Amino acid sequence: MAKAATRQDLVERHGRMGSKKLRRGERWWREFLQAVPDNANALKNCGWSLARQAEKKSGEEADRLFAEAYAKYAEAIKVRPDKFETWICWGMGLKEQARQKTGEKADGLFGQACAKYAEAVRCNPDDCMARTLWGMTLWHQAEQKFGAEMDRYFAEAYAKLAEAVQVTHNKLEPWLSWGTVLSAQARRKSGEAADRLVAEAQTKYAEAVKVKPEAYEAWNDWGWLFMSQAERKSGEEQRRLRQEARQSCWKRSATIREAGLTIWLASPP
């Protein structure tokens, strides 16, 4: 029996879809909705396909597709107000649209995205995904800021990621995301402030691989953290950090990926 796909598997699968496949998916869900117009899953999935298309566009075309996606999410919520996955998808769409904007328009969309994640948390307080995505959204908002305002949004992002970890300590995504955000802030700093953030990021990646030792993406990101730190150093310290990246992290990541590919090739069709 085939193993059931996880939510993350489905997200990644949608992420690899090209524009033509996304349009076909949208048409398929629209046809399905003609027969079953009040199906919350179909409405959500149609909105998801529209939002993914919008991410590949820009300007008025992107805004039109995002608006159509939000309309589908709103219809889905009318049918199933407690379906937290729909609130999460809506928040993700708003976050991606915000990343295409700047200034007050971006801030308004980021704020709406966070409001959708709050609804998802209200519907399912025990799920860590909404809090993780909420934290990542605040990070993307921080990336558009400078100085104290930037630091404030980073701090809010860490608070949400800490909540996600408290809800589900043994999930990879919150720890990996936390390390990613700390690494991003470290790149915006220098000196002791950068070193402190790098050290914190290392502890999060360490927790990530403790939860899932075969998570090659965590080892890979950890390696890039060492390399970014090495760029700010010189001499023996720089060589040591580069060696850590190559031998301790990237070599491990490559080994895990190769092992996974070998298992996949050996599995029956």
Model confidence pLDDT, tens digit, residues 219-230:
899 888 988 888
Amino acid at 10: L
| 190 and 231 Cβ atoms separated by less than 8 Å | no
| Residue range 146-182, pLDDT digits in tens | 999 999 999 999 999 999 999 988 999 999 999 999 9
Alpha carbons 27 and 50: distance in angstroms, whole number: 10
Cβ of 1: how many Cβ atoms within 10 Å?
3
Residue 33, domain member (yes or no): no
In-domain check, residue 218: yes
Question: What mean pLDDT, rounded, does the chain reach?
Answer: 86
User: What pLDDT, on the 0 to 100 scale, is given for residue 129?
Assistant: 96
Residue 59 within a domain: no
Q: Is residue 110 part of a domain?
A: no
Residue 229 lies in a domain: yes
Q: Is the pLDDT of residue 6 over 60?
A: no
Q: Residue 187: give its domain's CATH number.
A: 1.25.40.10
**Is residue 220 in some structural domain?**
yes
Q: What is the pTM of this model?
A: 0.82
- Residue 221 to residues 164, 180, 199: CA-CA distances in angstroms? 20, 8, 14
Let me know if residue 260 belongs to a domain.
Answer: yes
Quick one: 157 exposed, middle or buried, by C-beta within 10 A (0-12, 13-18, 19+)?
buried
Mean pLDDT over residues 100-127, rounded?
Answer: 97
Contact 244, 226 (CB under 8 A): yes
Concatenating the DSSP letter of every residue in 199-237 gives HHHHHHHHHHHHH-TT-HHHHHHHHHHHHHHHTT--HHH
Work out how many domains the chain is built from and give that number.
1
Report which of residues 169 and 10 the model is more confident about. 169
**pLDDT given at position 264:** 38
pLDDT score, position 25: 60
Query: Is 8 part of a structural domain of the chain?
Result: no
* Cβ-based burial of 76 (10 A; exposed 0-12, middle 13-18, buried ≥19): buried
pLDDT value at residue 18: 54
pLDDT at 1 over 60: no
What is the domain extent for residue 240? 169-269
Could you report the per-residue pLDDT of 51-94, keeping only the tens digit for each? Answer: 999 999 999 999 999 999 999 999 999 999 999 999 999 999 99
